[in-house]
Amino acid sequence: MTQKTPAAKPAEELVVFLVRSADKCVDCGCDLPPGSMILPEGQRGILCMDCADLGHLEFLPSGDTALTRRSKKHSGLWAVVVRWAPRRNRYERQGLLVEPEAIDKAEAECQADADKRAQKRESARPKREAQDREFVASFIQRILGLYPGCPPATAEEIAGHACQKHSGRVGRSAAAKELDAKAVTLAVGAFVRHRRTNYDALLSRGVDRHEARASIRAKVDETMEAWQRAKPR
Ligand SMILES: [Zn+2]
């Protein structure tokens, strides 16, 4: 009474098999070389796709999840295509047989989505760049406000670093507006420490951080004080 089909397949799911050895269609008698798609016809034998009334369907290989899901949705009739995997001792899904128009529809939908996603990326980019520019510009203004003696090119460099640090954050323009003197001072101090002293060289030579900082503190203070005092050029 029970027909032997792969376990765990819902009853309503039509399953098409790839034959492993050459066979013949029980209805039309056509030759079915290994790898042909067939539909079991109970005890009678196997049917070719035309005799199974599935000849009009197109094979869609597994792999593109969205395309598969949409093709299935748009297809009035569809079948799962499986192949026996001897090493794993089980049937493995190879793809779907669906109506060609369903694939066309699904492809169009996926294409539309891809466009939308690409458009989203494209439109987000100029906005991000504008935010970056705004951030850098306000940072430079804050630096030069607090350290008028800082060369503008250096202020730009410091602001660029700060912007990169903030680049993972949403609303950089908002972050820039909130820039307080302490944040600016820290950024300028770090720049001077790393770029205008031998601090990094000391660290790479294995000098303790506290020691290294102590030995360069005077130089950092001197530079920052000079930048604070100097008139804008
Ligand atoms: Zn046939």
**What distance in angstroms lies between residue 200's CA and the mean position of ligand 1's atoms?**
79
pLDDT for 1 beyond 50? no
> How does pLDDT run across 159-170, given as a tens digit for each residue?
887 777 655 443
Contacts of 98 (CB under 8 A, 6+ apart): 57, 58, 60, 71, 72, 74, 75, 78
Ligand 1 being an ion, which residues bring their Cβ within 5 A of it?
25, 27-28, 48, 51
3-state secondary structure string across 45-58: EEECCCCCCCCCCE
Ligand 1 centre from 68 Cα, in Å? 27
Contacts of 148 (CB under 8 A, 6+ apart): 227, 228, 230, 231, 232
Domain ranges, residue 133: 117-229
Whether 207 and 171 map to the same domain: the answer is yes
Q: Does any domain span residue 65? A: yes
89 CA → ligand 1 middle, Å: 28
Residue 224 has pLDDT above 90, yes or no: yes
**H-type helices in the chain, by residue range?**
65-74, 100-146, 152-166, 172-177, 181-195, 199-204, 209-229
| Amino acid (1-letter code) at residue 95 | G
**85, pLDDT greater than 60:** yes
Q: To which residue do tokens 């000391």 refer? A: 202
| Residue 160 and residue 129 share a domain | yes
- In this structure, the answer to whether residues 93 and 124 fall within a common structural domain is no
- pLDDT tens per residue across span 91-109: 999 999 999 999 999 999 9
pTM as predicted: 0.47
- Ligand 1 centroid–CA 23 distance in Å is 11
Instruction: Summarize pLDDT for 47-84 with one digit per residue, the tens.
Output: 999 888 888 899 999 998 889 999 999 998 899 999 99
CA of 57 to the centre of ligand 1 (A): 15
